[in-house]
Amino acid sequence: MGGSSNVLSWFWPLARTPDRSTGLEYEVNGFEDLHVSWPPPDPDRIPLPPRDVSDGVAFTGAEGSSYDVQAFKQRKAEDLRRQAGLEIERRKRFHQRLAENSEDESQQSDGPNEKGSDYGEEGWRNSEGERLRDFGVDEDIEFYDEEDLPLGVLIQRRAQAALKELK
């Protein structure tokens, strides 16, 4: 079909197939072995040698099964004891906590060497007793915006401040 210079004979269904010697020849780089096939064989279809299975190897866990069950139950009990204190405790709302601690707050005085209060959102501690300031977070910054302004108003204020700087 493709070996002829007559293009019309390429599409003729009863035409003779050209000889293999008229086909294309490809250069070989010389790195591969000539006996290696391409594509490589499928590893799932390569037959594996038979395994040597002896009866002595099978079911070796039956001797120490009671020990294994006891060890498993002991490890499970230790895990449950360890995880008992790690459940998530949801905090009460800020205002409820503030009302509960109001009597403690009146007794406590903020001295000059104290850095922030121990109550409220700033006084938050995790289960290990670490505070936000231990991680470098400034606790004096308010957590909630007192001004809930739309974005357009904020942009307008910024533009007015920029105009004042230009004047």
Q: Are 153 and 159 in contact (CB under 8 A)?
A: no
pLDDT at 89: 60
pTM for the full predicted model: 0.18
Which whole number is the average pLDDT over 4-25?
A: 79
Between the CA atoms of 6, 10, 12 and 13, what dihedral angle is there, to the nearest 10 degrees?
150
Length of the chain: 167
Confidence of residue 124 (pLDDT cuts 50, 70, 90): confident
Per-residue pLDDT reduced to its tens digit, 146-160: 566 788 888 998 999
The predicted model gives 99-115 an average pLDDT of 61
